[in-house]
Amino acid sequence: NQEIADRLFIELGTVKNHVHHILDKLNVNSRQDAASYLNLVQNHNAVVDIEPDETSNE
């Protein structure tokens, strides 16, 4: 959090507040849970993207 605050020239408390709200919106408890959720969503989207189009003749 401190590195983020330093790079963005904002207070540490501001970073903590934003991270807390992001985790709340994702309904996860940690950054690790957020990363796992993102990985799950990306893998799901990759599977959906490769499914054949219903209008194709294949």
Domain boundaries defined on the chain: 2-50
Average pLDDT of span 30-47? 88
Distance CA 39, CA 3 (A): 24
pLDDT reported for residue 42: 86
Q: Over 70: is that where the pLDDT of 4 sits?
A: yes
Q: Hey, what amino acid is at 57?
A: N
Average pLDDT of span 42-53? 67
Q: Over 60: is that where the pLDDT of 28 sits?
A: yes
pLDDT reported for residue 15: 98
Q: Hey, what amino acid is at 9?
A: F
Distance CA 32, CA 5 (A): 20
Average pLDDT of span 9-35? 97
